[in-house]
Amino acid sequence: MLKLLKNRSYLLLLVLAFLMSLGLYMARERAVPLDKELLVTREMNDELRDSNRHLREQIQGIKEEIELYSKAVNDEKLRMEVLEQELKNYRMHAGLLDVQGEGVVVLMADSSRVLGEHQNINEYLIHDLDIYQMLSDLRNAGAEVISINDERFLFHHSKVICNGPTIRINGQVFAQPFIIKAIGPRKALQAAINVQGSYADSLRQKGVQIEANTSVLIEIPAFSGTYSTDYMERNEQ
């Protein structure tokens, strides 16, 4: 009888230990989604806070502009200063002024892999379409200004033309490595290049050398080329 009680007690202890282990395991499993959900919520709150701060800054800037314009109506000197500042802003957005700001620096170079017997070397070289796609990804990630080897790239005007191992931009010829500079939200720009599944990632799979580093201060020169139009003209009406 005593032996039977001992066996039952031992069995009961085993069952209790199992149930406790199962409870701890289930608690941990439930905690993981909760932790992830909490992290996502915090990230959303941070994004909303940043967005609200940006909107408040924009509202404050508009209020200051309205006040400035109101004063300039009756002040000729101030009016000229306002017009000069607006002219600088237009020139800056047109790409005609040197600019600076935070962003990312991307280095690109052809693949250094040794080719196999039936492999095509063109698949491992950087082409103009590759650069266009990289520029498009950076622009979609928030890039405001872009240069290639310190040559300002204007999306509405500039072209990248592949010339064998070199490229031509705004009439200037550049050899490798190709260095793309982009001013904008540096972490988002870097993520657009480094994220798995991106176009840059597909180039890396071929051995193309791509490196993206953030910087708090990037300097990009003004557009040095010339504008020419064949069909567009001013509408005087």
Q: pTM above 0.85? A: no
pLDDT at 69 over 50: yes
Choose between 102 and 33: higher pLDDT.
102
Which tokens in the block code for residue 168? 């031509």
pLDDT at 58 over 90: no
pLDDT at 6 over 60: no
Mean pLDDT of the chain: 82
Residue 49, pLDDT score: 83
Q: Exposure pattern of 103-116 as b/e (b: 16+ CB <10 Å)?
A: bbbbebebbeeeee
**What's CA 95's distance to the chain center, in Å?**
20
Half-sphere exposure of residue 174: CA atoms within 13 angstroms, side-chain side: 24
Give pLDDT tens digits for 143-180. 999 999 999 999 888 999 988 788 999 889 999 899 99
Give pLDDT tens digits for 20-35. 665 655 555 555 555 6
Instruction: Tell which residue, 99, 101, 103, has the closest CA to residue 188.
Output: 103
pLDDT band with cut points at 50, 70 and 90 for residue 98: very high
